[in-house]
Amino acid sequence: MSRRHPPRLVVLGSINMDLVVHCQELPVPGQTIMAESSSEFCGGKGANQAVAASLAGGEVTIIGAVGSDAFADRLIDNLKTHGVDCESVSRCDDHASGLAVIAVDSRGQNSIMVVPGANAAVTPDRVRAAESIIKESDCLMVQLEIPVESVLEGIRIARKHGIRVIVDPAPAPTDFPTSLLEVDFICPNETEATALTGLPVTTVEQATAAAIRLHELGAKVVAITMGEKGTLLHHDGKSTLVPAIRVEAIDATAAGDAFAGALAVRWAQTDDLLDAVSFANTAGGIAASRHGAQDSIATYEEILKFRKQET
């Protein structure tokens, strides 16, 4: 494949505003409580991965949708600030922007409600309208916070033009078409790997069995992220545990998205899977050591500096 620098990446996915409310205890049904604070953060797995890939050194375009509300401009401006091309982001007059309302108690437990909003309007037709952009890319990245038929259309277009596809199967699917797995690279975490295969995934040995099963179902390369244990990489009939970096994990909110974005960039740059997964582990570890979602994502220079310190 092309070794363009920077590599050209397309993210097909969700764009959300996250409203986070901090409270001592989560309310029970019928209860009204006084919360301690609230914050607004730009999020959505698609947007998070687009920012991660851009900060890791990619030239990134996102295909998605926002609504006609007050959040829309903020969400677009935030992506542009991080160097993401938003020309393929639709503005939907009949939808609000995607919204996640997250309540977090003093013990770190949370309760989350997600309103897809405009993300549900990312139809296969909108994806087809961006075919020329996908065709000219080095890699298409997808997740599962937009309609699955639109994800499948993106995969179909990418395969038609010989473009690599990376699937982050989150949120964890329980009912899905097998064609969703017929991609170049899939990177579930332990919970998602269990949802996809029906196999337990808590040990490296179990992760290896699940990775082999995902390969049998169609994925050319499988990487199961396992937190501090590292990432189980399976390709060419071999399984390798790529070590995690040593950090004090305090907030894993965007760790998976940071991993996926950095992986896509590095794989396109080097064509070396082991190096790409190691690079992505570093990006994910740094994100887990910081608070927040997009605010926790490292730049290319920060990733390289941390890797140098680790050697």
Distance in angstroms (rounded) separating the CA atoms of residues 7 and 166: 14
Distance in angstroms (rounded) separating the CA atoms of residues 256 and 106: 24
Element (H, E) at 167: strand 164-167
Sign of CA dihedral 12, 230, 285, 254: positive
Query: Does residue 123 contact residue 97 with C-beta atoms inside 8 Å?
Result: no
Distance in angstroms (rounded) separating the CA atoms of residues 222 and 265: 17
Distance in angstroms (rounded) separating the CA atoms of residues 262 and 309: 18
Structure tokens belonging to residue 301 = 């220079």
- Choose among 297, 203, 284, 207: nearest CA to 249: 284
Query: Would you call 275 a catalytic residue per the annotation?
Result: no
Q: Which of 257, 271, 272, 275 is catalytic?
A: 257
- Counted residue by residue, the chain has a size of 311
Distance in angstroms (rounded) separating the CA atoms of residues 209 and 21: 39
φ, ψ for residue 96, nearest 5 deg: -85, 160
- Residue corresponding to tokens 């097909």: 12
Residues carrying an active site annotation: 257
